[in-house]
Amino acid sequence: SPQVKAFVTQDIPLYHNLVMKHIPGADPELVLLNHYYEELDRIALSDMSRAEINDLLVRLGFYMKSQAEEEVPEEFRLLPAKDSPFKDPPGTPQPSGEAPTGTPQPSEEAAPGSPSQAQRSEL
């Protein structure tokens, strides 16, 4: 869409820690990575307006410069360096002090689709 194209050509250069990777034929999407370049989330951008994409990036914590050449202040250099707000990855601390949901504990059964404790010990 013209909105996404305008975002890609005019806005991406203003964002710190946001990199454009062109994949011919692929629909535009935002891929969120952690410090280890492991994928946290994917968000389709095709149906979003330029303003909606910019609002999303601000909500995600990306720092936007006023000019592409502008120096990024020290306190913003590691932004957005936080987990995706769309899901809690394993290891995310919970306010109650309990283990995060979705992370099997030793006393729980293994996740669906993986061998259970009993099956593992029989192999």
Domain boundaries, given as residue ranges, for the chain = 2-90
pLDDT digits (tens, 9 = 90+) for 1-42: 899 999 999 999 999 999 999 999 999 999 999 888 999 999
- Mean pLDDT across the chain: 78
- The class level of CATH for 2-90 reads alpha beta
Residue 82 CA to residue 109 CA, distance in Å, equals 30
In this model, does residue 103 exceed pLDDT 50?
A: no
Question: Stretch 40-50: mean pLDDT, rounded?
Answer: 96
Q: Is the pLDDT of residue 112 over 80?
A: no
For the record, the structure tokens of 3 come out as 């909105």
Question: What's the pTM?
Answer: 0.64
Please name the residues in contact with 55: beta carbons below 8 A apart, sequence gap of 6 or more. Answer: none
